[in-house]
């Protein structure tokens, strides 16, 4: 069973949180996820700037 991601360097941009975690090979990955109820937006990015750009331009459908 894979272990859950442990995020660090988490920031919040509006309703979206951006965090850094390491994959199974030890490479840094960056995730942006919306915390608004019912939204469901999330994405993994190869660099932090891409994740932050996605967080800044995200608009919840609700």
DSSP string covering 1-62: -PPPP--EEEEEETTEEEEEEE-TTS-EEEEEEE-STTT--EEEESSHHHHHHHHHH-----
- What pLDDT does 1 receive? 56
pLDDT at 36: 94
Q: Is the pTM of this model over 0.75?
A: yes
Instruction: Return phi, psi of residue 26, to 5°.
Output: 85, 10
pLDDT tens by residue, 9-44: 899 999 999 999 988 888 999 999 999 999 999 999
- For residue 24, the model assigns a pLDDT of 83
Q: What's the pLDDT at 23? A: 84
How many Å from the N-terminal Cα to the C-terminal Cα in the chain?
35
Taking CA atoms, 27 is separated from 12, 45, 58, 62, in Å, by 22, 12, 26, 34
């Amino acid at each position: 069973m894979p272990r859950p991601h442990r995020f660090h360097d988490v920031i919040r941009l509006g309703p979206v949180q951006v965090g850094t975690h390491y994959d199974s090979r030890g490479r840094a990955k960056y995730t942006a996820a919306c915390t608004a109820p019912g939204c469901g937006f999330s994405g993994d990015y190869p660099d932090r700037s891409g994740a932050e750009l996605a967080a800044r331009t995200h608009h919840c459908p609700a």
